[in-house]
A and B are shown apart, each in its own frame.
Chain A
Amino acid sequence: MAAGQGFKTFATGDILTAADTNGYLMSQTVMVFADAAARTTAITSPQQGMVSFLKGTNSMEYYTGSAWTPVDTGSSPLTTKGDLYGYSTTNARVAVGTNGQVLTADSTAAVGVSWATGGGMTSLATGSLSGASVSLTSISSSYNDLVLVIRNFLPATANTSLQATFNSDSGTRYATEVLTQGTVTFTGTSARISQGSSNSVAQGLLVCRVPNYTNTTTWKYINIEGYSNNNTTTTSANTTFWNSIYNQITAISSIQLFPTSGNFTSGTYTLYGVK
Chain B
Amino acid sequence: MIIIEHNVETGEITERSMTTAEIKNIEELQKQAVLVETEKNTRKATLLDRLGITEEEAALLLG
Contact = CB atoms under 8 A, between A and B. Distances in A.
Contacts of A258: 26, 29-30
Contact of A127 (B4, B28, B33, B34): B4
B3 A131 contact: yes
Category for how many chain B residues contact A? 20 to 34
A163 B27 CA distance: 12
Category for how many chain A residues contact B? 20 to 34
A170 B1 contact: no
A165 B3 CA distance: 14
Nearest to B17: A131
A2 interface: no
A271 B3 contact: no
Given A127-B4, A131-B1, A263-B2, A188 B9 contact: no
Contacts of B15: 130-131
A136 interface: yes
B32 A188 contact: yes
B4 to A, nearest CB: 5
B39 to A, nearest CB: 8
Nearest to A255: B8
A189 B9 contact: no
Interface in B4-24: 4-11, 13, 15, 18, 22
Interface stretch (A21-29, A70-78, A104-112, A137-145): A137-145
Contacts of B33: 161, 163, 188-190, 192, 260
A170 B29 contact: yes
Interface in A152-182: 161, 163, 165, 170, 172, 176
B61 to A, nearest CB: 14
28 contacts: A125-B8, A127-B13, A130-B2, A132-B2, A132-B18, A133-B4, A134-B4, A134-B6, A135-B3, A135-B5, A136-B8, A137-B6, A137-B7, A137-B8, A138-B8, A138-B9, A139-B9, A140-B9, A161-B37, A165-B29, A172-B32, A187-B39, A188-B32, A188-B33, A189-B32, A189-B33, A260-B37, A261-B30
Interface of A: 124-125, 127-128, 130-140, 161, 163, 165, 170, 172, 176, 187-190, 192, 196, 258-261, 263, 271
The 8 closest A-B pairs by CB, nearest first: A131-B2, A138-B9, A132-B1, A189-B32, A134-B4, A125-B8, A260-B33, A133-B3
